[in-house]
Copies of this chain bind each other. A is one copy, B any other.
Amino acid sequence: MTSLMQKIKEVLPQLSEAERRIGEYVFENPEAIPHMTTKELSKKSGVSEATIIRFCKSIGIGSFKSFKLALMKDLTLTDTNLTDFSVLNKKDSPYDLFHKVIHVNKSAIESCADSMDRKELAKAVEAIQHAGKIVFFGVGGSSTAAVDAQYKFTKLGYHSITSLDFHYMLSVIPHLTENDVFVAISTSGKTKDVLELTRFAQKKGATAIAITTLSKSPLYKEADIRLCTPNVEQDFRIGSIPSRMTQLTVIDTLYMSIFHHVGEKVLQQYYDARSEMESLRR
């Protein structure tokens, strides 16, 4: 707990009804406050603007502006702001939602650190490094990560494949061999299409890397290498937003790691592509 938040908590019981309401709101949504106006906060917490000014004075701060600055400073000092943003509420404006999305995505990425196993990661990098083809597959929200991965690894000079089309994939997999890698992306680890293609790829000898949540799912059990994403499911309205961020973070890591290894080799092609792009500007 930071000093300013601490202070608010302490004085909370001594405050009047309306001022306490503000304090409670601040306590629940500290991140949001610095970007708010008195009018907004007044609406959200259900008290008048005048009371907000009074609240600032009550906690010993001269103005609402100073309060916002102080809070920003306070929040910066601690990264452990465990705000429960799962609570979306009716009155949220797009700008409010924007800040909630920022928060949700930030914490999702943060929590990636918890679920990743360094040995599995090393194995994955090893496998991809020596791969001939890399096939990525994910459906629904997970297709974004697959598309992103396919683009990134193509840039690195890999024969990298993805498609949303199950039947297209069915025609790709028979050509996989022991050297190849199949990356299955599924948050739940239960998606039928993903499972079937993974098994098929394994039957052809490819190494199956799963990007999935740590759970007793079939995909988790059957994959050769498991890159676990944290369980970040929240309010259904937020849906796949945070889990996609975690998947992308894993993809980014694979990309960076491979770049690190093969970097020198592809650097020239990389520059070529860049300068050509500059000149074409497309």
Q: Which positions in A face B, CB cutoff 8 Å?
A: 34-35, 66, 68-69, 72-73, 76-77, 79, 81, 88, 92-95, 97-102, 105-106, 109-110, 112-113, 116, 118, 121-122, 124-125, 139-141, 143-144, 147-148, 151, 166, 190-193, 236-238, 241, 244-245, 248-249, 252-257, 259-260, 263, 270, 277, 280-282
Q: A81–B88 Cα gap in the complex (Å)? A: 28
Bound form: Cα–Cα A218–B112 in Å: 37
Residues of B within 8 A of A277 (CB): 140
Residue in chain B with minimal CB distance to A125: B94
Q: Is the CB of A98 within 8 A of B116?
A: yes
CB distance from A83 to the nearest CB of B (A): 11
- Asked if residues B140 and A97 are in contact (CB atoms below 8 Å), the reply is no
Can you list 10 contacts pairing A with B, beta carbon distance less than 8 Å?
A68-B69, A76-B77, A94-B125, A101-B256, A102-B112, A105-B245, A148-B244, A193-B282, A241-B255, A248-B248
B residues in contact with A112, CB < 8 Å: 98, 102
Task: Count copies of this chain in the complex.
Answer: 2
Bound CA span A110–B113, Å: 18
Q: In the complex, A192→B73 CA distance in Å?
A: 42
Q: A101 contacts which chain B residues (CB < 8 A)?
A: 249, 252-253, 256
Main secondary structure of the interface of A (DSSP, over half): helix
Contact B249 A94 (CB under 8 A): no
Option from B66, B76, B147, B193 in Cβ contact (under 8 Å) with A73: B76
- Of A92, A144, A147, A248, the most chain B CB neighbours within 10 A belong to A144
Which residue of chain B is the closest to A65 with respect to CB atoms?
B35
Collect the chain B residues with CB atoms within 8 Å of residue A256's CB.
Answer: 88, 97, 100-101, 237-238, 241
Q: Which residues of B contact A191 (CB under 8 A)?
A: 281-282
Partner among B35, B88, B98, B249 whose Cβ is within 8 Å of the Cβ of A253? B98
For the complex with contacts A105-B249, A143-B151, A237-B259, 17 further pairs of A-B residues with Cβ separation under 8 Å are A35-B113, A69-B69, A73-B73, A76-B77, A94-B124, A94-B253, A95-B116, A95-B118, A97-B257, A101-B249, A101-B253, A140-B151, A144-B148, A144-B151, A192-B280, A245-B245, A248-B248
* Whole-angstrom distance between the Cβ of A54 and the nearest chain B Cβ: 21
A153 to chain B, nearest CB (A): 13
Shortest CB–CB separation between residue A209 and chain B, in angstroms? 13
